[in-house]
Structure 1
Amino acid sequence: MNSKNPINRIIRLFLGLFLFAVGIVMTINANLGLAPWDVFHKGLSSTFSITMGEASIAVGFIIVIIAFFLGERIGWGTVFNMYFIGYFIDILMLNNLIPTFDSYFLRIFMMFGGMFVIGCGSVAYIGAELGSGPRDGLMIALTKKTNKPVSFIRNAIEISALLVGYLLGGTLGIGTVIMSLSIGYFVQFVFKIFNFDVNNIKHRYIDEDIVMLKEKFIR
């Protein structure tokens, strides 16, 4: 798919966001423990009587604002990521579109399959070159501000989300540990399958579109 074509980029973006949501719901329905961010979302969901998707949207919105004030540029993909992943999660969960299993083997398969699908979603939405997701944007912004290694910042964010989510009533399990340690490797594996190199990505940001529109209509 030609990512330079605006229509193709939008299609690729939404395909990626939907796949990302499918992967998240697969890991949730595996019922082996939630990933760190989903522990946080579950905690918020339980505390404020909102859906997991609504919790994801609210957290994404706050993170986008924080990242913006830390100097991170925002793309349309960032905004759509913030809203539509949560929206797709609710559609999938409220309509029971992703199955659950009693078999421990099938639940493990579901969890690992979910991480693989998340990797596929990442390739699709990042490859649209319309901006990084809110949580990735926060990681990048904090890395720039603190001059700490990406691994340190990523782990600090994930652990913080996990701890706060747990205190709010989020669900932990063996799957939480497995996903915390292996999700990065799954994403990297999918990137290798698709020969996807993030160093070749050149995102287009909202401020660039604003400048373009000003130049076009205000002469």
Structure 2
Amino acid sequence: MYQARRISMALLGVILCGLCVGMLQKANLGVDPFTCFVTGIANIFSSTYSTFYLILTGALLILVFVLRRHYIGIATLFNLFLTGVTADLMHNFLDALLPHPDLLVRSGLMLVAIVFTCLSAALYFTADLGVSAYDAIALIAAYQYKLLPFKYCRIITDSCCVLVGFIFNVTLGIGTVITALFMGPLTQWFRTNLAEPFLASAQHPA
């Protein structure tokens, strides 16, 4: 039961993350920091987002493999194959449901997406079956090298990504700022208060 719950948490976390990406795209009020970073690097070379997403994610995976291969696992594969698909599905669904949302609706979509993105990250971090290459960087800094608590490591990595995007002409929005500053602390809250107790209950049932 314990292992099945870990796999379920990883799968749910990745699918939920993809759905939230689609919501942020529809809200159009600023992308997440890693998307901002990839877009900025792609702008340097006048290339596409998808091309440099593969290049940069591949480079980060190599780095993670060298530093802490423990973070590469089935959830990493879930991320690779499911996040984009679920994001597109959600975006297409919202396009059909809300073809011309006003600012209030877009703001609501953004806030809901940010909150559930943090929940999704907490689920697959706690499942400990592998995470995305980008997520692994803050985890390695916090838990292997103990540079700072995780929430501060995540703020630093997110802020660096936003800075790169800004320098290389990526349009930023309030959603970018919120995710850069608050995803780390909110993810940690969900992990401590929801994800870890949920997993522990499978290991030590009442």
TM-score, scaled to structure 1? 0.70
2:148 partner amino acid: P
SS in structure 2 at match of 1:67: helix
| Higher percent of residues as helix | 2
Aligned alpha-carbon RMSD (Å): 3.2
Match of 2:94, as an amino acid? I
5+ residue gaps in structure 1? Answer: 202-219
Deviation at 1:21, TM superposition (A): 0.9
Does 1:161 pair with 2:157? no
Indicate the residue corresponding to 1:32 in structure 2. Answer: 29
CA displacement, residues 172-214 of structure 1 (integer Å, 9 cap, x when unaligned):
0222222322333443454466x3228x78xxxxxxxxxxxxx
Shifted more, 13-22 versus 96-105: the winner is: 96-105
Residue 111 (structure 2) aligns with: 112
TM-superposed CA distance for 1:143, in Å, is: 3.9
Contact 2:28 2:106 in 1 (8 A): yes
2:174 maps to amino acid: I
Whether contact under 8 Å (2:41, 2:168) holds in the other structure is yes
Q: Are 2:187 and 1:187 equivalent residues in the alignment?
A: yes
Q: Conserved in 1, the CA contact under 8 Å of 2:159 and 2:181?
A: no
Aligned partner letter, 1:97 = F
Contact 1:41–1:56 at 8 Å: present in 2 too? yes
Which residue among 82, 86, 99 is the counterpart of 2:84?
Answer: 86
Q: Measure, in 1, the Cα distance between the counterparts of 2:93 and 2:185.
A: 27
Amino acid at match of 1:155: I
Could you tell me whether the CA contact under 8 Å between 1:55 and 1:86 is conserved in 2?
A: no
Going from structure 1 to structure 2, the CA distance change for 1:156 and 1:125 (only over 3 Å counts) comes to closer
Partner of 2:178: 178
After TM superposition, give the deviation of residue 17 of structure 1 in Å. Answer: 1.0
Higher Cα Rg: structure 1 or 2? 1
Number of the residue aligned with 2:137: 138
- CA change 1:159–1:116 in 2 (3 A) is closer
Name the count of aligned residue pairs.
193
Give the letter aligned to residue 75 of structure 1: G
Measured in 1, the distance between the counterparts of 2:135 and 2:62 equals 13
Deviation of 1:110 after TM superposition, in Å, equals: 0.6
User: Between the two proteins, what is the percent identity of the paired residues?
Assistant: 24
Q: Residue in 2 aligned with 1:76?
A: 74
Residue-by-residue CA offset, 1:72-102 (whole Å, 9 max, x unaligned): 4222222332443234334544xx2234553
Q: CA deviation at 1:116?
A: 2.2
1:91-125 deviation line (CA, Å, top 9, x unaligned): 544xx223455321111111111012213323443
In the alignment, the residues of structure 2 paired with residue 190 and residue 154 of structure 1 have an alpha-carbon distance, to the nearest angstrom, of 15
Does residue 1:122 correspond to 2:117, yes or no?
A: no
Distance 1:81 1:156, change over 3 A: same
Q: Would you say the 8 A contact 1:3–1:127 is kept in 2?
A: no
1:109 to 1:91, Cα distance in 2 relative to 1, 3 A: closer
Q: Which blocks of at least 5 consecutive residues in structure 2 are unaligned?
A: 201-206
Mapped partners of 1:126, 1:11: distance in 2: 12
TM-score (normalizing by structure 2): 0.73
